[in-house]
Amino acid sequence: MSTISYSDKIPNNVNLSEDRTLQRALEQWQPNYLQWWGDMGPEGSQDFDVYLRTAVSVDPQGWAQFGHVKMQDYRWGIFLNPAEKDRKIHFGDHKGEDAWQDVPGEYRANLRRIIVTQGDTEPASVEQQRHLGLTCPSQYDLRNLFQVNVEEGRHLWAMVYLLHKYFGRDGREEGEALLERRSGNEDNPRILQAFNEQTPDWLSFFMFTYFTDRDGKFQLCALAESNFDPLARTTKFMLTEEAHHMFVGESGVSRIILRTCQMMNELKTDDPARLRAAGVIDLPTLQRYLNFHFSVTIDLFGADESSNAATFYSTGLKGRFEESKRSDDHQLRGQTYPVLQPHDGQLIERRVPMLNALNEVLRDDYITDSKAGIERWNKVIEKAGIPFRLKVPHKAFHRNIGALSQTKVAPDGRPVSEGEWSARVSDWLPTENDRAFVTSLMGRVVEPGKFANWIAPPIIGINRQPMDFEYVRFN
């Protein structure tokens, strides 16, 4: 099961050729997918040969193979982690029963909705990032962008496979609709708001892959616990790919910080105007971008109290992050969890039934994970001998979902008046001016081994290639 058949029209490790109906349905979807990729995938990249990794097995050791491929010839396919023998349900009301190999009728609507919502984010991010190739800071970065893009395309395949195989006609219709919605389109937008925002520049791209792809990791981890075994196995393999996306974000921001710190020490200044004149991104601007991407991303976890979250957990559709590593009863009845809410100009903590607070639980796990990388960024600043530190804003800052969206809160967690918010927001979130400055830095650097002035080179090449390796052949 773990070997991938590349002789099929659709590469897969699910014996697709044995299910003719399914194979035919997916082969009908395939040209529509390729059409979507041509229309909405990375702009102007059709003729490029790109040094990409392709999944060749689902064995964690050596699952990928590297080589130059034309983008539209990338072998998108269907890869599931191997089945765990006699897998049992390990949380919720069905704990102890056999995991489901098919969709129980009573959970069909909810499962479909979960799969469609996850699936919708995958093409959305490709659409958001489609112009970035025109302003890449190096071949290395261009290649990483394209790698992320083709894998998000593959994640769409992963979800469409489940829809086709397990949801019949409505599944096939959802598969079509996933190719029809468009990020940012007023009439037919993507489902979740963060996926309708623009990713207009490379700083936004690196922040997005650090913060928003990490939301992807947490959602996938929660789905990897699912009672619905095919969903668990699919998302487990997606997580293998996701790690690289977050690496791109973390190392990208880190290299920007390094370059800025070098310039600060060279010019002996922390004056944003002088640093900007020298063509690097000042640290307060990085902090504002961080504040924006962090706050928009934590909204993706949904309302702090949610009866849907309780239902998804109790019925076993979606677990917690690292469910099996936790030592409680995995049912959570009668337990409580603190959530924040505004009250008389203050934020107060209230304990609510934990089952209803599972969005908040996942959000808090996400916040802990995000902070670790920010500390690694701070090490770069510290090593340069600069007293500035980046911080994650308070989780009540700039929220649009849940109880906290009712109030204005400063990044330090202090509730503020509308007046103070308006007076200070330009210190806290990227301004038009910030965005225009960052945009002004975006040139196009494609000579092998060369990097834009505002970002340091990486420490090591992809697959240990030398720094001047030709990652992209433009033809």
| Site residues, Fe ion (CB under 5 A) | 122, 152, 155, 213, 216, 242, 245
Could you tell me the smallest distance in angstroms from the CB atom of residue 241 to Fe ion?
7
Which residues make beta-bridge pairs with 205?
Answer: none
Which residues lie closer than 8 Å to 329 by C-beta, 6 or more apart? none
Strands of 49-55's sheet in order across: 64-70, 49-55, 472-473
Report, in Å, the least distance between residue 369 CB and Fe ion. 15
Residues 217-252 as b/e (b if ≥16 CB within 10 A, e otherwise) read bbbbbbbbbbbbbbbbbbbbbbebbbebbbebbbbb
Minimum CB distance to Fe ion smaller for 237 or for 471? 237
Rounded CA gap, 252 and 205, in Å?
9
CB-nearer residue toward Fe ion: 217 or 408: 217
Which ranges constitute the DSSP H helices of 167-282? 168-180, 202-207, 213-223, 229-267, 272-277
Residue 153 or 393 having the CB closest to Fe ion: 153
Tell me how far, at minimum, the Cβ of 213 lies from Fe ion, in Å: 4
Q: Closest distance between Fe ion and the C-beta of residue 117, in Å?
A: 13
The torsion angle over the Cα atoms of residues 455, 457, 462 and 468, rounded to 10 degrees, is 120
User: Considering beta carbons, is residue 245 or 408 the nearer one to Fe ion?
Assistant: 245
% helix / strand / coil in the chain, to the nearest 5?
55, 10, 35
Q: Which is nearer to Fe ion, 152 or 323 (CB)?
A: 152
- Minimum CB–partner distance for residue 388 and Fe ion (Å): 29
Tell me how far, at minimum, the Cβ of 235 lies from Fe ion, in Å: 10
Strand partners, 100: 228
For residue 335, give both structure tokens. 């337990």
| CB closer to Fe ion out of 100 and 161 | 161
Nearer to Fe ion, 71 or 404 (CB): 71
Q: What distance in Å separates the CA atoms of residue 59 and residue 299, rounded to the nearest whole number?
A: 34
How far is the C-alpha of 108 from the C-alpha of 92, rounded, in Å? 17
Q: Give the nearest distance from C-beta 209 to Fe ion in angstroms.
A: 7
**CA distance linking residue 27 with residue 32, whole number of Å:** 9
